[in-house]
Amino acid sequence: MGEQKKISIVGVPMDLGQIRRGVDMGPSAMRYAGLIEGLKNQGFQVVDYGDITIHRSTNGTNQEQKLRNLQEVIKVSEQLCSELDEAIQKRGFPLVLGGDHSISIGSIAGIAKHYKNLGVIWYDAHADLNTAETSPSGNIHGMPLAINLGLGHKLLTNIGGYSPKVKPENIIIIGARSIDDGERRLIKEKGITVFTMHEIDRRGMTAVMEEAIDYLAKRTDGVHLSFDLDAIDPIYAPGVGTPVFGGVTYRESHLAMELLAESELITSAEFVEVNPILDDKNTTADVAIELVASLLGKQLL
């Protein structure tokens, strides 16, 4: 992060990208867990822009191209895009609190316009590379990475007025263990780097993160971290909408964040899919804010 000491927080209490209620309370849960106080104690100037207003549709599911809540997701994405654009112009480090993972359509749209070659670390149990054609569910939170690559519904890929936001060779997925057939084909076709749980188990988190950091440092002029709490094994982070057993441990995730902090590579971040309704005593929000602290350089000694 260099000299930049201002953190700009934007909450996106959106649950429209999927069907399980509760993830809209994620930003509140993370604030309640002491996020802002913790960052101030770390010496940051924190500007909290509050939460983007989400208007829930009264007309039920939007069936257009099998995409659930399409118009509402577009509206929120455009608003988030312009808020982050403004935050970066005011020289703040954008920290976005989700909400389901469809929020990254708006966040990356607002961030990528400030970089020639934005890199993305997608820390997630899922690849989120579905399109309307390949999606088993029509849930937009399974599509944001494809949309940021310029694949999918034009109204979504053109958020912020440009497309694509990211090049496939500038993306690294970490922690994947649930990948659909269509996503697998796309990963091979586009040559996207994926460190699955198999790689993390086999080589260790240090080797995986060092390789990811080295790879992106050579290619990018900024790196956005998109951290889905379901990357972490549900033993440690139970409050997520689509838990997949056999995930990254709490300690491995801390190590990953510490290595990213040391690298000073990360220029923006989002933490998504915290669902307090499915949680146990706000554990998952607590985990999220501890990981934010590590990412932003909190050290034990």
Q: How far is residue 294 from each of residues 42, 123, 261, measured CA to CA in Å?
A: 10, 15, 7
Active-site residue, 230 included: yes
Active-site residue, 153 included: no
Cα separation of 226 and 285, whole Å? 16
291 φ/ψ angles, rounded to the nearest 5 degrees = -70, -40
Cα separation of 158 and 148, whole Å? 9
Active-site residue, 286 included: no
Given the residues 124, 258, 286, 290, the one annotated as active site: 124
Given the residues 15, 78, 100, 126, the one annotated as active site: 126
Cα separation of 268 and 85, whole Å? 12
Active-site residue, 86 included: no
Given the residues 270, 273, 286, 290, the one annotated as active site: 273
Structure tokens at 137: 């569910």
Given the residues 83, 101, 233, 252, the one annotated as active site: 101
Residue 51 assigned to a binding site: no
Residue 55 assigned to a binding site: no
Given the residues 51, 72, 78, 228, the one annotated as active site: 228
Active-site residue, 101 included: yes
Given the residues 83, 230, 233, 279, the one annotated as active site: 230
203 φ/ψ angles, rounded to the nearest 5 degrees = -105, -20
Given the residues 141, 153, 224, 254, the one annotated as active site: 141
Count how many residues are written for the chain: 301
Residue 224 assigned to a binding site: no
Residue 15 assigned to a binding site: no
Given the residues 128, 252, 279, 290, the one annotated as active site: 128
Active-site residue, 37 included: no
Q: How many CB atoms lie within 10 A of CB 232?
A: 26
Active-site residue, 124 included: yes
CA geometry: angle 146, 114, 41, nearest 5 deg? 100
Residue 124 assigned to a binding site: yes
Q: Count Cα atoms within 13 angstroms, Cβ side, for 139.
A: 16
Under 8 Å between Cβ of 114 and 88: yes
Active-site residue, 126 included: yes
Residue 114 assigned to a binding site: no
- The 93-98 sheet, strands edge to edge: 45-51, 6-12, 93-98, 266-272, 222-228, 118-123, 171-176, 193-196
Q: How far is residue 14 from each of residues 60, 123, 216, measured CA to CA in Å?
A: 16, 19, 30
Which segments are annotated as binding site for Mn(2+)?
101, 124, 126, 128, 228, 230
- Binding region: 101, 124, 126, 128, 228, 230
Active-site residue numbers? Answer: 101, 124, 126, 128, 141, 228, 230, 273
